[in-house]
Amino acid sequence: MSAINSNLESFRNWKHANLAIAVVLIGALAIFPLFKPPLDGFIDDCVLALAYVVMALGLNIVVGFAGLLDLGFVAFYAFGSYAAGWFASDFFSSINGEKGIHIGAGTFASTLPGIHLNFLLVLVAAVIITSIAGMIIGLPTLRLRGDYIAIVTLAFGEIIGRFAVNGQIGGFKYTNGRQAISPVDALDLPLLKEFDSAFSIRGYYWVALTMVAFSLFVNFRLRDSRLGRAWIAIREDEVAAVSMGIPLVKTKLMAYAAGAAFGGLSGAFLGTYFNSVNANQFQFAFSIFILSMVILGGLGSIWGTVLGAITLSFINSYFIPDVFNGIPGSLGLDFDLTQLSFGIFGFLLVMVMILRPEGLLPEKRRRLELKEGIGADEAIVEVRA
């Protein structure tokens, strides 16, 4: 027993222990779909979970790092998805004399009217659109603090959702509203064969996994950068941060833009994966869904956010519809549990906040604040003052 312990100890002390674990883990994640049928429902659940991880990582930058409660994150999901809908489908079919614009599009998409960009270009477009939208939404909140920010972002989220549903101003049609923009071009990467979701969704899984790895890398680098430290400083004490010379406006807007960019990445991917962009997807409940992931995992904690996103995504797409849905029926109750998924999330939010407000895998600094009372006195003063 002690031999194992000492072995474990020496492994922990090995300089590259973390790296070794990460490589093994990523390797296992990467090859597991090969052991499942190519259209397996479990792979589908995993693709969704990975896409939500990217989205939750984005929200974690805004809420977790910078401490700006954003309740309108769905707006960036919408913009990202519409980037896919606009630039990779025949939505603008009358453009360029009905011949369409094609840049690096797949063999089939190249023959269709409308704008067809390569998936990577769609991602770039999504990032650009969402970061600009993020900054615009951030602007009115700069003078505000606390829950007022939540309300303004929520209002923006609702306005964007309303625009998506209405879909038309005057004669100009910019979305299909509840009719959905569909089909969206299949995922097509340079040097690789076009992905066909009718035969295999493994390709989508690998793309999502790559996006998660990329987002994780960027998030860790951002958190430890000058900008990331500025975000955390603003979260902890805005006045002190400003007097130390942190440019408030720029730093806050960067937080909104960076967070939004990840929302856009994931949104563009999901639009492509679902093969349609429907205005019904962009509701307030979705913002709360993503926020619950961040809170469940632990505000500001990157691994916590990943864990929270995977947990809630699987609860939503696997446990509620497939595992627990029989329970009300067997108890003689007549309702569909999938309808109540948000009630379950609401309950989770309340429980997490009351029982374990720091989340499942809390960030070190925040755990200290909540558990050992560092900074807690200050919070009381703030509430009571």
Partner 1 sequence: MNVATLPPQEEIRTTPVSERLRKFFSAYGLWIVLLGLPVFYGIKDLQDEGDLSRLGNNLFAGLSNGAIWALIALGYTLVYGIIELINFAHGDVFMIGSFVAVGMWGTVGLALTTGTLGLIAGLLVTLIVAMVVCGTMNVMIERVAYRPLRSAPKLAPLITAVGFSFILQNVGIVWLGSSQKGVPDLIKAQHVLVSVAGIDIHNSDVLALAVTAPLVFLLTTFVNHSRSGKAMRATAQDPEAARLMGINVDTTISLTFLLGGLLAGAAGLVYALYQTNVWYFQGFTAGLIAFTAAVMGGIGNLKGAVIGGLIIGCIQQISDNRIGAQWTPAVVFAYLVLIMVFRPQGLVGEETREAG
Beta carbon of residue 145, minimum distance to partner 1 (angstroms, whole number): 5
With respect to partner 1, which residue has the nearer C-beta, 152 or 270? Answer: 152
With respect to partner 1, which residue has the nearer C-beta, 67 or 228? Answer: 67
With respect to partner 1, which residue has the nearer C-beta, 115 or 154? Answer: 154
> How many C-beta neighbours within 10 Å does residue 357 have?
15
Q: Which residues bind to partner 1, rule: CB under 8 A? A: 67, 69, 71, 140-141, 143-148, 150-152, 154-156, 158-159, 162-163, 165-166, 284-285, 288, 291, 295, 299, 335, 339-340, 342-350, 353-354, 357, 369-370, 376, 379-380, 382-385
Beta carbon of residue 373, minimum distance to partner 1 (angstroms, whole number): 10
Question: Element (H or E) spanning 262, and its range?
Answer: helix 248-274
Beta carbon of residue 207, minimum distance to partner 1 (angstroms, whole number): 32
Beta carbon of residue 297, minimum distance to partner 1 (angstroms, whole number): 13
With respect to partner 1, which residue has the nearer C-beta, 34 or 383? Answer: 383
With respect to partner 1, which residue has the nearer C-beta, 155 or 360? Answer: 155
CA distance 273 to 268: 9
Q: Which residues, 6+ apart, have CB-to-CB distance to 182 below 8 Å?
A: 89, 275, 276, 277, 278
Are the beta carbons of 324 and 331 closer than 8 angstroms? no
With respect to partner 1, which residue has the nearer C-beta, 137 or 277? Answer: 137
CA distance 306 to 317: 16
For 77-112, b where at least 16 C-beta lie within 10 A, e where not — what string?
Answer: bbbbbbbbbbbbbbbbeeeeeeebebeebbeebeeb
Beta carbon of residue 385, minimum distance to partner 1 (angstroms, whole number): 8
Beta carbon of residue 295, minimum distance to partner 1 (angstroms, whole number): 6
CA distance 133 to 28: 37
Instruction: Using alpha carbons, select from 142, 331, 114 the residue that is nearest to residue 247.
Output: 142
